[in-house]
Amino acid sequence: MKYSTIVWKDLSATATIASFEPAAGVAEHHIMIQLSDRRLPVATQYKNIATATSRLQEAETFRQTLPVFKRYFVSDAANQQVFVSNGDGNENGNEDGATAVSIVQQPPLNGTKVSVWLYLAGDGKLAKDEVGTTLLERPSYQHLYNTQLHRPVGDEYAETAHIFRTYTDVLKQRHCTLKAHCIRTWLYVQGVDIHYAGMVKARIECFDREGLTNETHYIASTGIEGRHPNPQTLVQMDAYAVNGILPEQIKHLYARTHLNPTAEYGVTFERGTAVDYGDRRHVFISGTASIDNKGEIVHLLNIEKQMERTMENISVLLSEAQTDTADIAQMIIYLRDMADYYVVSTYFEKHYANIPSVIVLAPVCRPGWLIEVECIAIKPIEDARFARF
């Protein structure tokens, strides 16, 4: 992985970049764009984010890439959605109209109003279909991104059931299934301490119908506090699937020395998933916390120790996929208590400064967990059994 940083002093903006650039094949870039001046008016902050994004895409390195996915981490989704819809200049325009755009209220803890995770990829064709699925077309694969799936009815169980029914129908239109083709989900729950259990129940029922069980497999996922721009929405989901993927290209990660199977405490997701292509391996590490192989929280009320144990767990998961932290392309760090920001930011700046990352306010599904981290890693491999990415 090649890491780099761009600083725009006139924008008070910094882009931290992880670039996977094979000698032959498609380049991929994960980028975190963050602001440093929290005194700027909200409109200026969004304008500066948009300007930084445009400058990036105009740079020689990224000019031939496609803006596949963009997630906004915002401090006030209900009031700030207008800046994403209208002020950014891309989502409603022709230039980046096919980009999969996600907005989630998870305030950046550096005190600014917005940060952005941007995923750029090289050669291919990018389109958006009539139901809102972003399609990254490759010769052998079709990468499917769905964002902002929701239905505000005031009941987390009903909302989650509707989301998964809708998503499975969307996949079926592409001759895909949840079991065979969905690689990663993100589930955001407003009031996670109260509404998480209903979301989990509906997800279990959907998975049972679709053949996802403890005897088969689940999906890499993060389920965490997050708010949709519509304040009435209790649950929203982003999802990523790959059409054309074969079962033997997918490996699920367990790290049994450090973590227990999630089904042991009544939830249904994989700790991590590795996907092999002919020229690279993608590793998706689910939201991971300070937990042991009995499912118990480790280091109660100690943010420093929980942080270290969380990263130890992630390292073990990565090693199961023959990768390590040097292959990480991006990280999202979730904190329950904003007062822990200084300790956590100091730790990550010391140990993982080059990796594109963002620290946001987002309580984890169990109150005792003070921190949760997810990440994506990319590693070059050669496997003649499979088509290249």
Read off the pLDDT of residues 33-76 as tens digits, 9 standing for 90 and up: 999 999 999 999 999 999 999 999 999 999 889 999 999 999 99
The answer to whether residue 266 sits within a structural domain is no
Average pLDDT over residues 85-110: 72
Is the domain of 118 the same as that of 137?
no
Q: Which of 90, 125, 160 is the endpoint of a domain? A: 125
Range of the domain at 80: 1-125
User: What is the spatial distance between Cα 45 and Cα 82, in angstroms, rounded to a whole number?
Assistant: 13
Q: Would you state the pLDDT for residue 123?
A: 86
Rounded CA separation 59/57 (Å): 5
State the average pLDDT over residues 139-167.
97
Residues 17, 114: one domain? yes
Continuous segment of H or E residues that includes residue 145:
strand 142-150
Indicate the residue among 199, 230, 245 that finishes a domain. 245
In a domain, 239, yes or no: yes
Q: Are residues 176 and 278 in the same domain?
A: no
Collapse the DSSP code of 100 into the 3-class scheme (helix H, G, I; strand E, B; otherwise coil) and give the result: strand
- Count of structural domains, the chain: 3
Query: In the chain, pLDDT over 70 holds for what percent of residues?
Result: 97
Residue range 277-284: mean pLDDT, rounded: 98
| Helices and strands in the chain, H and E counts | 7, 18
Domain match, 335 and 281 both: yes
Q: Is the pLDDT of residue 87 over 50?
A: no
101 and 164 fall within a common domain: no
Reported as a single tens digit per residue, the pLDDT across 226-250 is 999 999 999 999 999 999 999 999 9
Q: Which is it for strands 371-380 and 280-288: parallel, antiparallel or unpaired?
A: antiparallel
User: How far apart, in Å, do the first and last CA atoms of the chain sit?
Assistant: 16
Q: What is the mean pLDDT of residues 175-196?
A: 97
Predicted local confidence at residue 95, as pLDDT: 40
Is 251 inside a domain boundary?
Answer: no
- Check which CATH number belongs to the domain holding 24 and give it: 3.30.1330
Contact 351, 288 (CB under 8 A): no
**Residues 161 and 235 both lie in one domain:** yes
In a domain, 264, yes or no: no
228, 117: one domain: no
Q: Check pLDDT > 90 for residue 343.
A: yes
Query: What is the torsion angle, in degrees rounded to the nearest 10, for the CA atoms of residue 355, residue 358, residue 364 and residue 369?
Result: 60
Same domain, 293 and 321: yes
Contacts of 388 (CB under 8 A, 6+ apart): 25, 26, 140, 277, 278, 279, 280
Regarding whether 83 and 116 lie in a shared domain, the answer is yes
Within this chain, do residues 102 and 152 fall inside the same structural domain, yes or no?
no
CB 164 within 8 A of CB 206: yes
Residue 319 contacts by C-beta under 8 Å, 6 or more apart in sequence? Answer: none
Give the CA dihedral 6, 124, 222, 344, nearest 10 degrees. Answer: -10
One domain for residues 115 and 234: no
pLDDT score at 350: 97
Confidence of residue 85 (pLDDT cuts 50, 70, 90): low
Q: Of 125, 156, 181, which marks where a domain is finished?
A: 125
Q: Is residue 230 part of a domain?
A: yes
260 part of a folded domain = no
Q: What is the mean pLDDT of residues 360-369?
A: 95
In this structure, is residue 261 part of a structural domain?
A: no
CATH classification of the domain holding 311: 3.30.1330.40
The reported pLDDT for the residue numbered 24 is: 86
Both tokens assigned to 294:
């009995």
User: Does residue 35 belong to any structural domain of this protein?
Assistant: yes
Same domain, 109 and 162: no
For residue 164, pLDDT beyond 60: yes
